[in-house]
Chains A and B, each alone.
Chain A
């Protein structure tokens, strides 16, 4: 596709369940970012990938969050034992390279609701 795609678009889960959120970046983009958008916190950075590598995981809110990227393309954000405070829209972005001036192209997001 031409843009960043994310799936599912909506996910409702029960507290304590695990969820996986998927991001397909723009083809050829080596850098990939995950952000979280919630009412109280605005847009917050979670993690970035350069290729398949995520050198800095300090932005992840807790050890229940993990992310991986395979083949320099698709990325999965996994949240284990979900809590109600995890409810948010999870946004993925990609850019041509991991350079600050590169425009980040955002996907439509996955709206996660934890009951």
Chain B
């Protein structure tokens, strides 16, 4: 069975601090995709990044960066110089690549609060 664990339920930081959100996944499949979504207070899930299981290159997009390590089954997300607008719930998700119609398997989410 597949599972995504986000051990950090809530994180509070002060603006300009760096913060890392952890994501650990479990699957026996060798081909899969990993996602991060952001859910701001408005409620709508916003796609941030997708990674496939064969691409372990880290990725940086502005203040956001992602560290994918298959050896530890982790896909961690770092926000550099956090801002108040980063306050949201962040979800890590997994989807298998070899089954038609599989859906995203989400972690429970990490609530990030950034104060000024």
B91 at the interface (CB under 8 A from A): yes
With beta carbons under 8 angstroms apart, the residue of B37, B42, B100, B108 that contacts A98 is B100
Q: Please tell me if the beta carbons of B52 and A33 are within 8 angstroms of each other in the complex.
A: no
Q: Is the CB of B44 within 8 A of A106?
A: yes
Contact B103 A98 (CB under 8 A): no
Number of interface residues of B (CB under 8 A): 26
Docked CA distance A56–B100 (Å): 11
Q: Are A100 and B42 in contact (CB under 8 A)?
A: no
Task: Return the contact of B109 from the options A42, A89, A93 (Cβ within 8 A).
Answer: A42
Q: Are A101 and B52 in contact (CB under 8 A)?
A: yes
Contact A101 B101 (CB under 8 A): no
Once bound together, how far apart are the Cα atoms of A35 and B104, in whole Å?
9
Interface residues of A (CB under 8 A from B): 3, 33, 35, 42-45, 48, 50, 55-56, 59, 89, 91, 93, 98, 100-101, 103-109
- Interface of B toward A, CB cutoff 8 Å: 32-33, 37, 42-47, 50, 52, 91, 95-97, 99-109
Known: A42-B107, A89-B43, A104-B47. 18 other contacts (CB 8 A): A3-B44, A33-B103, A43-B91, A43-B109, A45-B104, A48-B103, A50-B100, A56-B101, A59-B103, A98-B100, A100-B32, A100-B95, A100-B99, A101-B52, A104-B104, A106-B45, A108-B43, A109-B43
